[in-house]
Amino acid sequence: MNLIFKPSLFGIAVFAPICFASALVADDLLLTDLIKQVEPSVVRIDVDGKHGESIGSGFVVDSTGIVVTNHHVIAGASSAEVSFQNKKTAKVLGTLYLDKSRDIAVLKIDGNAYSALRLAGELPLKGASVTAFGAPVGLSFSATEGIVSAVREIEELKEYTSKMAGTWIQTSTPISPGNSGGPLVNNKGEVVGANTMGMVIGQNLNFAISSIDIAEAVKASQQLSLVKLDAGAAMEVAEYSLDRLGGTKLVKAIDEISSLLLVADLDSREAQVLAAQLVLVDPDKVSDAKVKQRVVKVFKRIAYESKSNGELGVRGMARWGGDAAIPYFVELLDMNVFHGEEAIYAALSESKDPRASEAIALRLGSFFDGQRAWAALRRMGPAAEPGLILAVSSSDLDVCLGSISLLAKHGTEASLSILSEAQRKGTPAVRKEAKRAATKIRTRARRAAREAEEKE
């Protein structure tokens, strides 16, 4: 049985150098004093975006309004607001740094003169006491206590995830949906990690990305410009702009926008608006093949190179490139650096090309992509059959059984061969499911044949 992790979602600039704690920064604090010291720097994050409203947590690392949280808390946000313990709120102006593989986001909030937490300069020892802060299931400014169960490099977790990176603090400290991004602190009040995910199977097997990784992200963010949380507004501007054009004027506008995007800063607000304009254009309105090829090239560059607008790039490639874009989508998934996998799975699930379902099927056993892959194959319906046939041979029992179950619903006689093999070589559960699926497929085939004869 596969062990599965899940992120703890609810629902689901220039600044001073980051503060690092020295080995002699402070004595251990009583828990009540620790909470009083840390909580003024903890924030609840209310997010509004393409997935609706959600809640996460975070913490201030610089008095100028620099906040750290998890990438998955802020992903897809069109607007967000942070709340402090003293009831004050501040708008999230945008992101300074995003790292999906380590699930870190560095944000800039409105205002300054905030109370900041120090990052621990060393990894914690196994058995050390730690306290988690956040908003579990929306209960703001909660604190829970536990110990460091282990410090693990990502290589030790490869069995459960192939897409994560960094050093992870395993802790017994209870966390729940809504804790994501909140600080995990030691008895000196130093941040040793950001609460990120928990193991579904097991008790109090939770993980926080380490302060060492967070420090690297904050340092990197000092070299990057602010990217605003206004994708929704960009789409509205785009729809208003190009929808009114047609004929040669539309082709000329597309050509000009493509030229700008080939040299633009792809994470800028301008690039976001221009790319959103092109996504909304109906490719059938453009007869010039060279212009179409140029647009595909632009969207490919955005998908591969942009940290904040990659999803627009994928949508554009799917719209303008069709099935020819499938190999690029597969490559992006394999690269493990893309910031919009949901857009890729949505694009692949709309394709009838066998390569699409096969590419999705290869990821059914992944803890990180498994749920998206299953959802995509269900959306594909009968078009998922080539991928499901491939997945029946998986050594992962859950993948094998799940694929046979979907073939029972959508499979054709093309699936009978692999189902027959499963009946011969599979476990008792696999043999039983494969026999049931084959019976359903044959019944559907006979019914379809009778209906065809009746029509004749």
Print the SS3 string covering 15-83: CCCCCECCCCCCCCCCHHHHHHHHHHHEEEEEEEECCEEEEEEEEEEECCCEEEECHHHHCCEEEEEEE
Phi-psi region of 202 (alpha: psi -120 to 50; beta: other; left: phi over 0): left
- Report yes or no on whether pTM surpasses 0.85: no
Average pLDDT over residues 8-35: 53
Element (H, E) at 430: helix 428-455
**178 within 8 A of 56, measured Cβ to Cβ:** yes
Q: Give the tens place of pLDDT for each residue, 118-145.
A: 999 999 999 999 999 999 888 889 999 9
pLDDT of residue 27 exceeding 70, the answer is: no
% of the chain residues with pLDDT over 70? 86
- Domain 5-221: which CATH class? mainly beta
pLDDT at 165: 84
Query: In this predicted model, which residue has the larger pLDDT, 268 or 12?
Result: 268
Segment 232-262, tens digit of pLDDT: 444 333 443 555 556 777 788 788 788 878 7
The pLDDT score that the predictor gives to residue 23 is 39
Which burial class, exposed, middle or buried, applies to 182 when counting CB atoms under 10 A from its CB (0-12, 13-18, 19+)? buried
Q: Which of 290, 363, 353, 297 has its CA nearest to residue 322?
A: 353
Evaluate whether 47 touches 73 at the Cβ level (below 8 Å).
Answer: yes
Strands 191-199 and 142-153: unpaired
Backbone phi and psi for residue 343, each to the nearest 5 degrees, phi listed first = -65, -35
**Which of 60-64, 102-106, 314-318 is modeled with the greatest confidence?**
60-64
* pLDDT at residue 245, as a whole number: 59
Q: How far apart are alpha carbons 338 and 356 in whole angstroms?
A: 18
Tokens in use for 221? 């963010």
- Tens digit of each residue's pLDDT (9 = 90 or more) over 398-434: 999 999 999 999 999 999 999 999 999 999 999 999 9
Model pLDDT for residues 55-87, shown as the tens digit of each residue: 999 999 999 999 999 998 988 788 899 999 999
Q: What is the mean pLDDT of residues 7-13?
A: 36
φ/ψ of 359, rounded to 5, equals: -65, -40
Helices (H), 381-411: 385-391, 397-410
Q: Which of 120-124, 194-198, 222-226, 448-452 has the highest mean pLDDT?
A: 120-124
Q: What does the pLDDT average to over 347-370? A: 87
Question: For strand 52-62 and strand 227-228, is the pairing parallel, antiparallel, or unpaired?
Answer: unpaired
pLDDT of residue 12: 32
Per-residue confidence band for 10, with pLDDT thresholds at 50, 70 and 90: very low
Q: Strand 227-228 vs strand 191-199: parallel, antiparallel, or unpaired?
A: unpaired
Continuous H helices in 226-369: 231-242, 247-261, 269-280, 289-305, 310-321, 326-335, 341-349, 354-361
Instruction: With a cut of 90, say whether residue 200 has pLDDT above it.
Output: no
Mean model confidence pLDDT for the chain: 84
Query: Domain limits of the chain?
Result: 5-221, 352-456
Strands 142-153 and 167-171 come out as antiparallel
